Structure 1
């Protein structure tokens, strides 16, 4: 149970139209939000907007939710993280994730198999880079250092710059139980995308059992402050339609899998089948209202206040709200969560 939730603002990644959220981020900082987070898929990257916002703020922590492993080598991510952490006075929270085979193989042109093993090696190398104990070597299958081929001239190197923090916090974006268990074992926090607060303990209790004290479960939550509950639920349902139906292939969709583990297996199968058949409006209609309502916080302030009780009773330690786009909404949500 978490009586005192931390509050963050999750901006996600740019959609079709770029959005400079500087004013929103500055408002969140003034209002006492703990963190702001950016993401990437196959459009805007996560680090550049975060550097932009970091240069225009002084206190709010800066998180990536998430940067994709296949977009950069472990050393490149470690260098970027170290640089941004220095420039922002030690405010970076580095969230990483494996993404899925469609993006990894279709966009980055690298193989997807064995994401857990790749994630483990990735984090090991980054931490070696930041510690600067010695020149970095790694004999893993996925990221061997030095590279055992090519010109044959590779040599172990040590980061030139001394990191501001040799222990930059690492979060994992994870959905499957084994990936969540890996986060509990090797990371400082977990970034769940879809969360039913009433069931998260039941679903992930064993995988989270090995987490160290202070492990942060930072749940991303669509939060829409409005009197139009029906319209807000439809917004959440539209997002779920895309993720369950279109973010992955038939038989390999991690978002559909997690919805099934929540108890909506039949609905998930139907949504995906309809979506892949091009019947997207029917797929939207097949998303259960109770699922959309369960993973989100939508409606007028009183309704959101009632729903927050379930989040406070869950293992979640941080709420990363997605959706607010004005200072008044940020203030009301702040008052509801931090009270």
Structure 2
């Protein structure tokens, strides 16, 4: 059980020219936030904004939440991570994830099957590259090195640049129990998208059973300070409408699956059916308020302070808050979480 929570700021996707969060990141650093995180899907990449913010800060850690493994070979991700880690003085937290079949096969043009085996192999290669103990080879099914074909003259190579750190902290974005167990086995932390703090042990207890005290469960949490709880919950429900309804195929939606495992399977099925039928307002209205409230921190300061106790009693060790974008709200959240 966690009592002292670490605090980070999750900025999500970089979307447009005006979305330069440098001032927000600098404010978060000054206020004592431990990390800032950026994401990617099929728009902006996760690394470039971190390089931008890293050049304008000096202490705050820089996390990808998450970099998609099908977007790059293991060697390309290892090189990018090593370079960014060097340039920022060892501040990178590398979060990776398998994404879903729609994005992997529809956007990256790569096969989705066997995501756990692919992830394991990917991590093994990156760590071999960073350690520079010998030229890198791999006999796995998904990323064999050297490539067994082509010109037939590929050779094992060793990273030219010596990494600043041979062990860059590695996180897995994971939702299914087996994938969470993999994170506990091979990674330094887990990046869950939706967490219901009262239910996390019931849902993932066996998956997390072998993790040690340094394993970081860094939960992404929508955090909205407002006297209008109804409006705040509606903001959370808008996000859930998209993820449950539209971020995945009807036959395979990992976000809908996790909502089902929280005890809302019938609601998730209804939300997805309404969304895919184009009835998005009805999908929004079908999201239970207690689901939106359970996975977020919404309301006046005292309400959030009270709800934070549920997170402190859970296995979660870091809160990556999504929502605060000005100094007042960043300071208020800092005071609530860090005391």
Length-normalised TM-score, structure 1: 0.99
Partner of 1:215: 215
Deviations 1:91-123 (A, max 9, x none): 000000000011111110111111000000000
Partner of 1:270: 270
Deviations 1:192-218 (A, max 9, x none): 000000010111110001113300000
Partner of 1:156: 156
Kindly tell me the number of residue pairs found equivalent between the two proteins. 339
Distance 1:222 1:17, change over 3 A: farther
User: Which whole-Å CA distance do the structure 2 matches of 1:210 and 1:98 have between them?
Assistant: 22
1:193 to 2:193 alignment: yes
1:288 to 2:288 alignment: yes
User: Which whole-Å CA distance do the structure 1 matches of 2:275 and 2:99 have between them?
Assistant: 20
Partner of 1:122: 122
**Equivalent residue of 1:11, what SS?**
strand
Deviations 1:119-152 (A, max 9, x none): 0000000000000000000000000000001111
**Equivalent residue of 1:283, what SS?**
helix
**Equivalent residue of 2:266, what SS?**
helix
**Equivalent residue of 2:12, what SS?**
coil
User: Which whole-Å CA distance do the structure 2 matches of 1:323 and 1:17 have between them?
Assistant: 19
The two structures, once aligned, show a CA RMSD in angstroms of: 0.8
Deviations 1:24-64 (A, max 9, x none): 00000000000000000111100000000000000000000
Partner of 1:233: 233
Question: What pairs with 1:35-46 in structure 2 (closer than 5 Å)?
Answer: 35-46=35-46
Partner of 1:68: 68
**Equivalent residue of 1:265, what SS?**
helix
Partner of 1:301: 301
Q: CA deviation at 1:153?
A: 1.1
Length-normalised TM-score, structure 2: 0.99
Q: CA deviation at 1:3?
A: 1.0
Q: CA deviation at 1:15?
A: 3.9
Q: CA deviation at 1:18?
A: 4.9
Partner of 1:102: 102
Distance 1:329 1:129, change over 3 A: same
Kept in 1, the 8 Å contact 2:14–2:38? The answer is no
Gaps of 5+ in 1: none
Question: What pairs with 1:45-56 in structure 2 (closer than 5 Å)?
Answer: 45-56=45-56
Distance 1:258 1:17, change over 3 A: farther
Kept in 1, the 8 Å contact 2:223–2:322? The answer is yes
User: Which whole-Å CA distance do the structure 1 matches of 2:229 and 2:213 have between them?
Assistant: 38
Partner of 2:258: 258
Partner of 1:134: 134
Q: CA deviation at 1:312?
A: 0.2
User: Which whole-Å CA distance do the structure 2 matches of 1:185 and 1:216 have between them?
Assistant: 12
Deviations 1:66-86 (A, max 9, x none): 000000000000000000000
User: Which whole-Å CA distance do the structure 1 matches of 2:196 and 2:31 have between them?
Assistant: 27
Kept in 1, the 8 Å contact 2:216–2:317? The answer is yes
Q: CA deviation at 1:298?
A: 0.8
User: Which whole-Å CA distance do the structure 1 matches of 2:299 and 2:267 have between them?
Assistant: 24
Q: CA deviation at 1:235?
A: 0.7
